[in-house]
């Protein structure tokens, strides 16, 4: 099990009914503005906030969305890699 931890300088908020990630503190220098999340991305973010691991998140996605598991895994991996590239997620 690989532990994943969100950088505490990024906070999930809801703006006009839309989930967004807002940089705070030092992160303001890395990303200008907000990152808008869709439904699956919000689910993943909240799962990461709660300390869920990769397999737990796949199970949550399977329970919520009617999509092939392979697709869910591919999309989850791509989202995690994107978060890592912005130093929002650490392993």
SS3 state at 14 = strand
**DSSP-assigned letter for residue 6:** E
> For the chain, what's the residue count?
91
pLDDT tens column, 13-61: 999 999 999 999 888 888 888 999 999 999 999 999 999 999 999 999 9
What are the sequence ranges of the domains in the chain?
A: 5-86
pTM here is 0.92
Q: How far apart, in Å, are the Cα atoms of 3 and each of 24, 47, 89?
A: 23, 12, 10
Question: How far apart are alpha carbons 68 and 55 in whole angstroms?
Answer: 15
If pLDDT is split at 50, 70 and 90, which confidence band does 1 have? low
pLDDT tens column, 53-86: 999 999 999 999 999 999 999 999 999 999 999 8
Question: How far apart are alpha carbons 43 and 49 in whole angstroms?
Answer: 10
pLDDT tens column, 5-23: 999 999 999 999 999 999 9
């Amino acid at each position: 099990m690989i532990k994943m931890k969100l950088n505490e300088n990024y906070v999930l908020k809801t703006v006009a009914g839309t989930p967004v990630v807002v940089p705070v503190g030092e992160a303001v220098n890395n990303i200008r503005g907000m990152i808008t999340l869709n439904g699956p991305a919000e689910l993943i973010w909240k799962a990461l906030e709660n300390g869920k691991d990769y397999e737990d998140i796949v199970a949550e996605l399977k329970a919520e969305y009617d999509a092939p598991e392979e697709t869910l895994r591919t999309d989850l991996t791509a989202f995690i890699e994107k978060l890592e590239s912005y130093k929002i997620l650490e392993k």
